[in-house]
A and B are shown apart, each in its own frame.
Chain A
Amino acid sequence: MFPALEKYRQAFLVGLQSNLVYRWNFAIRGFFSLFHLAVVFILWGAAFEGAGNIGGFDLRQTLTYFITILALQFLVSAFNEDYQISEEIRNGLINQFLLKPINYFAYRFSIFVAARLVSGSLILIPLLVALPVIGEYLTFPLEPWRLAVGLPAVLLSALIQFCIAYCFGMLTFWFLEIQGFVILSLAIEAVLGGQIFPLDLMSPDVFAASMLLPYPYQMYFPAAIFTGRFGFEESLWCLGIQACWVGILLTVGHGLWLRGLRRHTAVGG
């Protein structure tokens, strides 16, 4: 139907195979993330002993938020795509893409989707194992609109995650080593992405300002929709901001690719 997309389907299939090779690696990470969940349960459980509700939410709602964030991490997060892109640029492996009718962004994104499909499926195993323990804490609001708005938000989150990783990878055209930038960004993403605490627990001014940045749309926003931290109108408004950020990041990524290629020197055959 779309012959031009066939090559990306093949890239997706190769990505699927290569990620399945590391299935045990993902599975172990998934099981160890249950330890992170244990930390969250213990810390917030102790915090809620001193306060009936925190930020207008009870313990179950707060824990549901963190469980959702954990699932989203495996479903939409860019794990090491920035490093992979960086390696391909540094080692000259991108030369092959310059000579073929293939879009590098689309190629990398196909592999990213395959990787997240594998890791997203594998996180279900530890979550199912832990279900007897965490099940009693799960409390999701049941309004249908949350699914209708939340699912597009998850897809856009994945795009934002990938675009940020792609942009960092592109920095290799200018810098020899990008690891420092990536980990610095990871710290910012961890806080403003809502992985450390729900962003709405910050002071209202700081929260409002943070929602103008791309980071909350990486994970906090879809998690907030699914767990009842956002209302309908607020969600639609933020979905618009999220779409804008996707557009901006796609443009920046493409711009970096074009500018970077001007600096790139392909050596050898």
Chain B
Amino acid sequence: MLYYLRIWLASARYSVTRTLMFRGDFIVWSLVELFWMTVNLLLVSVIYRHTDSIAGWNQYEMMLLVGTSMLIQRFLMGFFWSSIFEMGRNVRTGNFDFFLAQPGNVMFMATTRKLDPDGLVNAVIAVGVIVYAAGKLNLQPGVSDILLYAAMVGCGLVIHYSVLVISISLVFWLTSAQGVEGTYFTLTEFSRLPREAFKGVVSQMLFVWLLPVVVVSNAPARVLIGRFGEDWHWVAGPFLFAALWFALAVFVFHRGLRRYSSASS
């Protein structure tokens, strides 16, 4: 464990140094992420210009939910996105050989090599959105609520990471994963919807339980808003799903790895 932590710290140090070398690039990418976050908030504000409630959630509750979803996604972008995105291209070009030759777990090496400080910088903005929305809702969470919220955000990060690894691992079967990474972004769109918006058994089974992207953001948001009530499965759910999805990601990745035969097309 300590061995991998040292490897990750070395990679992180390299990424930060590289970012400092290309400061203009860092600013552009920070703006890109900031703009996409603004797009999501804009959607909320446009809809609430015409209605007072979405599935029983008011504008600031929705903003808190969207802020939580953005926070998890910023962490994913900051810690893992570049590495996993490049993995798709590397498998196609044969540059993935580089990771096979490294002295460590291939999945860890391939998915944690690069850190994107711009994603992490925008996590601060996401926290700002959450704090602003919580202030508008007059929420006063206790320390235990905040700790539980943080733990659930951590679970959300693991679930998102796993879904993304599974999506990109399709490249082992397809000739190209170009555009397939976009499927991950499609799935994360569900995380910005309130759980109550999902009507019908099929919809709930598919999007709330089978693909737990809704739980990922709804569970932590509910901790802050106080919408848990007696539904304690909302607390256990994220931890259980994080373990299951991570196991599935490890399985799919290693099954795919067996098909890897260096450069293809």
Interface residues of A in 43-59 (CB under 8 A from B): 43, 45-51, 54-55
Chain B minimum-CB-distance residue to A52:
B51
Q: Which of A26-34, A147-155, A213-221, A236-244 contacts B (4 or more CB under 8 A)?
A: A26-34
Chain A minimum-CB-distance residue to B29:
A180
Number of A-B contacts (CB under 8 A): 114
Which one of B54, B179, B183 lies within 8 Å of A50 (CB-CB)? Answer: B54
Q: Indicate with 1 or 0, residue by residue over B188-213, a CB within 8 angstroms of chain A CB atoms.
A: 01100110111100010001000000
* Chain B interface main SS type: helix
Chain A minimum-CB-distance residue to B22:
A177
A42 to chain B, nearest CB (A): 5
Which one of A49, A79, A180, A184 lies within 8 Å of B55 (CB-CB)? Answer: A49
Q: In the complex, which range does the number of interface residues on chain B fall in?
A: 35 or more
Asked if A79 and B39 make an inter-chain contact with CB atoms under 8 angstroms apart, the answer reads no
Which B residues touch A203, using CB under 8 A?
A: 49
Asked if A38 and B207 make an inter-chain contact with CB atoms under 8 angstroms apart, the answer reads yes
Which A residues touch B32, using CB under 8 A?
A: 180, 183-184, 187
Chain B minimum-CB-distance residue to A206:
B46
Which A residues touch B183, using CB under 8 A?
A: 28-29, 32, 35
Instruction: With A25-B180, A190-B39, A196-B39 as known contacts, state yes or no: A43 contacts B46, CB within 8 Å.
Output: no
Q: How many A residues face the partner with a CB closer than 8 A?
A: 40
Instruction: With A25-B174, A33-B186, A45-B199 as known contacts, state yes or no: A39 contacts B193, CB within 8 Å.
Output: yes
Let me know if B36 is at the binding interface, CB within 8 A.
yes
B246 to chain A, nearest CB (A): 22
> CA separation between A197 and B54, bound complex, in Å?
15
Asked if B176 and A22 make an inter-chain contact with CB atoms under 8 angstroms apart, the answer reads yes
Asked if B189 and A36 make an inter-chain contact with CB atoms under 8 angstroms apart, the answer reads yes
Instruction: With A29-B183, A35-B189 as known contacts, state yes or no: A196 contacts B43, CB within 8 Å.
Output: yes
Which one of B35, B50, B189, B194 lies within 8 Å of A46 (CB-CB)? Answer: B194
B: which residues have CB within 8 A of A? Answer: 25, 28-29, 31-32, 35-36, 39, 42-43, 46-47, 49-55, 170, 174-180, 182-183, 186-187, 189-190, 193-194, 196-199, 203, 207, 265
**Interchain residue pairs with CB less than 8 A apart (6):** A28-B180, A36-B186, A38-B203, A42-B197, A42-B203, A187-B35
Top 4 A-B residue pairs of the complex, sorted by shortest distance between their CB atoms: A180-B28, A46-B197, A51-B51, A46-B55
